[in-house]
Structure 1
Amino acid sequence: MNFIGRPVLNEESDPFCMESAEAATLLGGAPWRRFGVIGDSLSAGTGDASPGYLDQGWSDRLADILRRVRHDLAYLNTAEVGATTDQTLEAQLNPMIDFSPDLLHVPCGPNDILRRVPDFAEIEMALRRMYERVAGTGALLTTFTLGRAFVVPAFPDWHERVTTLNDMVRRLAAEYDAVVVDMWDHPVNDRDTLLSGDRIHFSTSGQAVMAAEMVRALAARLRRTTRT
């Protein structure tokens, strides 16, 4: 038990995590052979190590799981810490298009709302340009929404900024049939050990949960595809 009486979790006991073998079983028969990731620190899986959890970001975790299904999986992650959607478009899109992914993770714009006064119409245009370009690859697209644990105290309207951005991401993802892992109200947000020392990025305990949720979402998409 920890000092406030809650059990100390590890990767084996965490109810939201998933063993690699179970994850690979859920994704058995998955067709993806080229997994790409673009964007920012959330895409990169940046975060401090958590005791009892593998020190690995969600995207690398997912690549390892997919390799259990497709041993010849090619994986390219061009994400850069601090990248905005415009910077992702400028620096990462062409290399990723050349990579020809069939599964592609795209960012949800957290760095776009760090301006003193964010222009949400401009942010939506940038996100739409990104979706339009990556849709041309024919890849299945995935993305996250931001969790409510991610707070920037310097901005009193931060909650409003995040909910506006998340709604935008959900809407665009629906238009482009992207898989959305919605972290906004996930129970993991309530954990006092969730965030890294910077109080922004999920620690690797959170990364493990995000990887598991992505597996569940992809497995649901596979089931849907099989039925149609």
Structure 2
Amino acid sequence: MTDHHGRTESADPMLISPGSARALLRDAPWRRYAVLGDSIAQGVGEASAGYRDIGWADRVAEVLTAVHPETAYLNTGRIGATSDQLLAEQLAPVLEFRPDLVHISCGGNDLFHPGGDTDRLRANLETAFSALAATGAQLCAFTVADVWETERMAPMRPMRPRMAELNAIVRDVAGRYDAVLVDFWDHPLRLRPDLMSTDLIHFTTGGHAVVATEMIRALAARISAAAGSI
């Protein structure tokens, strides 16, 4: 089965094969992977024909578990979560889980509406990153993609400046905590006409597959860099 643009998961040029993904993470030192945040963290999105119906974080966890079966995985992400709710409801369970690899994806709901408080968002993300970094865990994050150029996304175009603000905050905070950061703002994925679900907010599962590939590549680069510094 293929999507209406002729792609399949096995022949998508933006994806790596399952075998390649496992090879990239074969030397991963992490055994407890946690993801916290909003619907992006949770992996919400409509199914794409030709792609497995699975979110990006579950895909990354799948590869980590394939190479190290003892890997434990926790995802506390939920639809609509703000950074206030992340701190109040998700941070403690994740800290209790004792992850050594943790991904934070939050902030879009804080700034979705006009008047979103960027200072409060920055402070909340700082609190979350600081608390998790203090455990010695490797932190990860990514920026949102600039999807608003396509005609289909025209109704959502007023969001673009606020999402650019979100990205600036994420880049800054992630950089200060040495997080593995994947910057999707200019990624060619953003121009795929079938990228967005009908809500025009969430990626389809075809998009999630590409996100997972880029996260796996970034984690592999960190593994290689760490090995080279020994």
CA distance in 2, matches of 1:194, 1:17: 14
CA distance in 2, matches of 1:211, 1:204: 10
| CA gap 1:154/1:26 in 2 versus in 1, 3 angstroms | closer
Query: Mapping of 1:1-228 within 5 angstroms?
Result: 8-149=6-147, 153=155, 156=158, 158-228=159-229
Normalization by structure 2: what TM-score?
Answer: 0.92
How far off its partner does 1:154 sit? 6.2
CA root-mean-square deviation: 1.7
CA distance in 1, matches of 2:145, 2:182: 10
String of CA shifts for 1:144-185, please: whole Å, max 9, x gaps.
1011116684673x2211111101111111100001111111
Normalization by structure 1: what TM-score?
Answer: 0.93
- Runs (5+) with no aligned partner, structure 1: none
CA distance in 2, matches of 1:81, 1:108: 10
Letter in 1 for 2:228: R
String of CA shifts for 1:133-153, please: whole Å, max 9, x gaps.
111221101111011116684
Letter in 1 for 2:33: F
CA distance in 2, matches of 1:48, 1:160: 25
Letter in 2 for 1:95: P
CA distance in 1, matches of 2:218, 2:43: 18
CA distance in 2, matches of 1:47, 1:217: 23
Moved more, 108-117 or 178-187: 108-117
Letter in 2 for 1:32: W
Identity over aligned pairs, percent: 44
- Runs (5+) with no aligned partner, structure 2: none
Higher helix share: 2
Partner secondary structure for residue 38 of structure 1: strand
